[in-house]
Amino acid sequence: MRVILHLIPVKYVPGAVVNKHTIQGFIYNLLQNTPYSGMHLKKGFKYFTFSDIFPPGDFYPGKKYTLIISSPDRRFISYVYNTLKATK
């Protein structure tokens, strides 16, 4: 299962500011107050992956960027999707 996010910045952000750690933190933040909220504390593989944001480089206002979050756990993806949908 996957969630594909299309991101459109409202202001310029240097590409170096958004890295794997900030993306991972973004995903864990989406999982607060869900059964997955303690996932970041567990050791080992977390059963989800995410792509780099593409196209790579700096983020320019109005330009579309994409991020893919994947997991074999359907409930995990449902929580991510529903949280994103609720924050529109």
Give catalytic residue positions.
28, 40
Q: Which helix (H) or strand (E) holds 73?
A: none
Distance CA 29, CA 73 (A): 18
Distance CA 52, CA 67 (A): 6
